[in-house]
A and B are shown apart, each in its own frame.
Chain A
Amino acid sequence: MGNGILVLCEQEGGQIKGTALELLGKARELAAQLGGSVTALVMGTSTPTGVKGAQQIWCVDGPDFQAYNTGPWARAVQVAIEKAAPALVLATSTVATRDFFPRLAARLGLGLATEVVDLCVVDGQVLGRRPVYAGKALYDVRVSSDPAIFTARPNSFPVPADLPDAPAPEALDVALTEADRLTRVVDTLAPETDVVDLTEAAVIVSGGRGLKSKENYDSIIRPLAAALGATPGASRAAVDAGFASHGDQVGQTGKVVNPNLYVACGISGAIQHLAGMRTSKVIVAINKDEEAPIFDFATYGIVADLFTICPLLQAEIEDLD
């Protein structure tokens, strides 16, 4: 049986991300019940800052590991798993872990549960809670392999305030083979805007079919979002009608979001849209149809034309402070 917990930690410019700290906090809590120590694995730097709650830090650095690439990352995590021989491997669900972890799990014959929103220990075994059907249902998930691998959705756990500092990092040597170099990253394109990603946004202003045109989306939703410091989003109907791009879509076949404030303008609230935003802390609905299903789950609603309300709301926000 493996012992201890290996946590893959994301960093940005050498600084450990909040999503990694929440996992380290959870790992510490689980390790207290399962036994063993917590090892933080950091990719792409040899001098990470802000690592807490781990008994050791292993760093994998070098040109192959800085930008994400499937083969090198899978190999590095494999080397770490073989060295640590843990009972449990944790990581945040990101584009990178969604890409390489299934590949590594298949290589090592391990079970992987992705995108859990809760983790606990029951009868000495780790149990995850995981949304399916874009959050329309949830189930308990168990992984019987040794180690078990779980990835967690960002912002699932609070970061404990009392996490102790971790010791100095050690370098983990990872030798790559030809089989790890099946793909090459030949270019990295900078974002066209500097807005926060929908999946990480604290505030989202979304527009629906009620906007009637792309021009209205651009002149109503975008300025309101800018006033609120929000990321603009859209319903599937609005995307299908060409008001916004596919990357802006919130819902079961778009982004699943988890903001503090979600403002839905001219969105009726179809089941598949609700699936993508139901965990928002506060939902505001602006729709002239008082029968729209969105009013059944909105925290605050205004039954009126969005073309009247949105500019007033924008002016009111701009007048604050």
Chain B
Amino acid sequence: MKIGVLLKQVPDTETRIRIADDASGIVTDDIKWVINPYDEHALEEALKLKDARKAKEVVIFSLGGKGVDQRIREGLARGAERGVWIEAPENLDSLAIARALAAAVKAEGVDLLLAGKQAVDDDNSQVPAMVAEILGWPQVMMISELQIDDGGFKATRDVGKGVRQVVEGRLPAVISCDKSLNTPRYASLPGIMKARRKKIDNKNISALGVDTSSDPLVSHGNWGLPPERSKGQVIPGEPKEAVKELVRLLREEAKVL
């Protein structure tokens, strides 16, 4: 079995976001780029299936510009075999991205495609389900448990209020992963050495038959920061008095008790 993993480059979650002067996006100078945290869980699940001898090969698919090859290389250092880097312009909508990834996945021929439940930059959570539709494959998004056996899958997802559904289907399928699925491994030193010699195929998005010249279906602008929270008051005094005053303020001033 061959497993594909969708991987996206995003700013580290500790990044302090600054807005560009023309409000067209964020300032990307000095940003530390990382693998999207949820995608790390997708990669880990693929590597676990390989460790359990249920998969022979793990291939990383990533779309984007500068630095994406380095994120793929980090994934290869953790144990994936190969990478596919789709070079693409900025500000594509989710459907164009999904069409490009689906074309690359189809050309590669994988039996299972894993992804993170969302990317922590645009928080869209759209691309994996769109890829599933384009390929005509079953999907389960945001799963917390996964079993792969005899050409089928059984996945558990939280559908809110702690209720969980167990969903079954046949492979090939697209599955997106939540944090509770596993604990991602770190790259080992031998892994990092080996990754230098592993192959990253470079594909251009137009060669995958995706037209990027037309206007996006979804477009954004007028970026801004959320309103600042004003600094509140620190309640002075001995612990007992401070707690009494806090409860009074919560009841009488804030009216939340």
Contacts and interface: CB of A to CB of B under 8 A. Distances in A.
Given A141-B220, A184-B169, A133 B226 contact: no
A138 B223 contact: yes
Nearest to A194: B162
Interface size band for B: 35 or more
Interface stretch (A38-46, A55-63, A101-109, A160-168): A101-109
Nearest to B18: A137
Given A106-B133, A182-B137, A247-B180, A133 B217 contact: no
A192 interface: yes
B220 A252 contact: no
Given A102-B125, A106-B133, A183-B168, A138 B242 contact: no
Nearest to A308: B239
B154 A186 contact: yes
A318 to B, nearest CB: 11
Contact of B123 (A134, A187, A320): A134
A284 B246 contact: yes
Nearest to B102: A106
B1 interface: no
B256 A106 contact: no
A102 B13 contact: no
Contact of A253 (B13, B137, B173): B13
Contacts of A143: 217-218
A32 B246 CA distance: 45
B120 A197 contact: no
B117 to A, nearest CB: 8
Contacts of B189: none
Contacts of B133: 102-104, 106-107
A114 B125 contact: yes
A308 B237 CA distance: 13
A147 B11 CA distance: 33
A287 to B, nearest CB: 10
A300 B124 contact: no
Interface residues of A, number: 97
Given A106-B95, A132-B121, A141-B219, A302 B11 contact: no
Contact of A184 (B167, B219, B233, B254): B167
A203 B257 CA distance: 9
Interface string A172-201: 000000010011111111111101110010
Interface string B124-148: 1111111011101111111000000
Interface in B102-129: 120-129
Contact of B229 (A101, A103, A145, A283): A283
Contact of B14 (A69, A94, A271): A271
A7 to B, nearest CB: 19
Given A140-B220, A188-B163, A270-B14, A183 B179 contact: no
Interface in A191-242: 191-193, 195-197, 200, 203, 228
Which of A110, A185, A251 has most B Cβ within 10 Å? A185
Interface string B3-47: 000000001011111010000001000000000011000000000
Given A134-B120, A183-B167, A183-B169, A301 B232 contact: yes
Given A253-B120, A308-B239, A313 B247 contact: yes
B57 interface: no
B234 to A, nearest CB: 4
A113 B226 contact: no
Contact of B226 (A112, A131, A179, A284): A131
Nearest to A143: B218
A254 to B, nearest CB: 8
A68 B165 contact: yes
A297 B233 CA distance: 10
10 contacts: A103-B139, A138-B224, A144-B219, A182-B169, A184-B168, A188-B164, A195-B162, A298-B232, A300-B233, A302-B234
User: Closest 8 interchain pairs by CB?
Assistant: A191-B162, A111-B217, A182-B138, A187-B166, A102-B129, A102-B126, A106-B130, A297-B229
Given A142-B220, A182-B173, 17 more contacts: A94-B160, A95-B160, A100-B129, A102-B98, A102-B127, A105-B126, A132-B122, A138-B224, A139-B222, A182-B169, A183-B139, A187-B165, A188-B166, A246-B179, A251-B13, A309-B242, A316-B247
Interface of A: 67-70, 94-96, 98-107, 109-115, 130-145, 179, 182-193, 195-197, 200, 203, 228, 245-247, 249, 251-254, 260-261, 270-272, 275, 278-279, 281-284, 290, 295-304, 308-309, 312-313, 316-317, 320
